[in-house]
Structure 1
Amino acid sequence: MSLDYIIKIAGPMLEGARTTILLFLIVIVLSIPLGFVVTLMAKSTMKPLAWIAHSYIYVMRGTPLLLQLLFFCFGLPQIPVIGEYLVMDRFTAASLGFILNYGAYFAEIFRGGLLSIDKGQFEASKVLGLSKWQTLRKVILAQMFRVALPAVANESISLVKDTALLYAVAVPELLNYAKTAVNRDFTVTPFVVAGVIYLLMTLVLTLFFKTLEKRFKFE
């Protein structure tokens, strides 16, 4: 494992890491709000909305993420009549699969956060004259976020590792570049370098969420 070789392969692998980071940011920015909306739908008194939310969560959590990625990348265009309108480039299709999958998991995390809040909080808010929106924004969301933050942190770190599944749908990300280098040079060094890059990304995330947890006095 020479330093010159590591420097040689670092450029392409960092290019792959950029795709990994881009996917991570897209998924986090879109799946967390989606998860919260789905949580509200699941708690809705409107039965059709609640049924749709529960069905969505059940399907997305009950089937493998890899299967979902394969469906969005290769299955959508095969749907009769509308398939031709659902053709997307593979990165976009994979991003959609990740967003919907992680949205379901975040929905369950937020549901757990809501369930942890004492019902007396709602009654106290009514006594204080707060509207439903004020109660949600000033009382419920703040407490839910504190409870859900550790689980959100764990799920975010899992997302970094799950981005390696892009390899299965032929999107050139970090693991794809590492596998190409291994096949070309007959050495496992690129896998080691890829592992180090993944560890660095998860380290940054871990430190970020630790800082948030300290700010909200989890420790």
Structure 2
Amino acid sequence: MTAQTKSAIPPVTGKEAPAGHTAIEAVPLRRPGRLLLCAALLFLLFFLVEGWATNPRMQWHTVGEFLFAPVVIEGLGTTLLLTVVAMLIGVVGGIVLAVLRMSDNPLLARISGLYIWVFRGTPLLVQLLFWYFLSAIVPRIGLGIPWGPTFVDFDTNLLITQLTAAFLGLGLHEAAYMGEIVRAGITSVDGGQTEAAHALGMTRRQTLRRIVLPQALRVIIPPTGNQAISMLKTTSLVFAIAVPELLTSVQGIYSRTFQQVPLLTVACIWYLVATSVLNVGQYYLERRFTRGSLRELPPTALQRLRAALATKQEPQT
């Protein structure tokens, strides 16, 4: 009986084991295949980067010459402006569309569904061109009584400029996608919380603003960040209506110098820089709105740096 009891005791790792336990030395599992694969991938990556960086046809001196050119910086500013305004229109419009889509009123729900169907089902480039050539269908836009007198009217060409057409095309198209993202976030909140809020006397609007939306943001923010990054690159489509954003500015330069690849490299560098900034912003937003759902928040870059420095400065015993 005693021998069976001792054999059932699991072994313990370490130099010193309690009485009745067998001390063993844990050896990490060796994976030579994984090491070989990592080495091959690192070699391939180094080979590609080294070949790209040392290729004389890349003309890196031209890249450095035009990287901070005034026309390129101005185009970058237009790209960032288009991204911010379009995302604001998209987020606000998406919230409205999501609320209407989930409304008890069947007419409002169907109007929201029709909007999403139309704007998601047609290409963005077509929508941009439609807004740009709107004056061909509606020469003047007026305010007044339907089928009655018009109090004030405007020339459509003066009212909807190239930049305004870009705002409308990008923003209204983005609202259709954001409507589905917001609706998914709202439906992810437990319905019992809505019932409890109504039992406490909250109205539907108060429940949505104070209870549902703050919790739905945990689900909404990650795909919204992806949409913002996608919008930054999608703004390049406004070249079709001659808006001088980053890619259009770069195209204007290489159409005169015939140095396409170096100038496109300049555009790629600035797109990567802007995307990296948006990634950092998305990380901190996610970290901010996950408070309360995680026991410990993920560390920031500064906190990781401090931890690494503290580890190096610890005295060795």
Matches within 5 A, 1:158-197: 158-187=230-259, 188-197=261-270
State the match for 2:209 in structure 1: 137
Q: Determine if the alignment matches structure 1 residue 15 to structure 2 residue 74.
A: yes
Distance 1:34 1:24 in 2: 15
State the match for 2:218 in structure 1: 146
- Regions of 4+ moved over 6 Å: none
Q: Determine if the alignment matches structure 1 residue 97 to structure 2 residue 156.
A: no
| Worse-matched range after superposition: 1-10 or 117-126 | 1-10
Shift in Å at residue 107 of structure 1? 0.5
Shift in Å at residue 181 of structure 1? 1.6
Distance 1:5 1:120 in 2: 58
Residue segments in structure 2 that go unaligned for 5+ positions in a row = 1-58, 142-155, 299-317
SS in 1 for 2:103: coil
Contact 2:63 2:266 in 1 (8 A): no
Distance 1:157 1:53 in 2: 25
State the match for 2:312 in structure 1: none
Distance 1:5 1:204 in 2: 21
CA deviation profile, 1:100-152 (whole Å, cap 9, x unmatched): 10011111100111111221111122233333233112210111111111010
Distance 2:268 2:283 in 1: 22
State the match for 2:227 in structure 1: 155
State the match for 1:73 in structure 2: 132
The 3 A distance-change label for structure 1 pair 4 and 58 is closer
CA deviation profile, 1:172-213 (whole Å, cap 9, x unmatched): 111011112222112121100000001111110000000111
| Worse-matched range after superposition: 170-179 or 6-15 | 6-15
TM-score, structure 2 as length reference: 0.65
Aligned AA for 1:193?
A: V
Distance 1:47 1:142 in 2: 26
TM-score, structure 1 as length reference: 0.92
Shift in Å at residue 47 of structure 1? 2.1
State the match for 1:202 in structure 2: 275
Distance 1:5 1:135 in 2: 54
TM-align CA RMSD: 1.7
- Say which structure, 1 or 2, has more relative contact order (CA 8 Å, 6+ apart): 1
State the match for 1:24 in structure 2: 83
Matches within 5 A, 1:54-65: 54-65=113-124
| Worse-matched range after superposition: 130-139 or 115-124 | 130-139
Distance 1:73 1:134 in 2: 40
Aligned AA for 1:17?
A: L
| Worse-matched range after superposition: 175-184 or 3-12 | 3-12
Residue segments in structure 1 that go unaligned for 5+ positions in a row = none
| Worse-matched range after superposition: 176-185 or 188-197 | 176-185
Distance 1:179 1:159 in 2: 20
The 3 A distance-change label for structure 1 pair 35 and 154 is same
Contact 2:88 2:171 in 1 (8 A): no
Rg comparison, structure with higher value: 2
Distance 2:105 2:201 in 1: 25
Higher strand residue share: 2
Shift in Å at residue 3 of structure 1? 3.8
Aligned AA for 1:202?
A: T
* Identical positions, percent: 39
Shift in Å at residue 214 of structure 1? 1.6
Paired residues in the alignment total 216
Distance 1:106 1:140 in 2: 17
Aligned AA for 1:184?
A: R
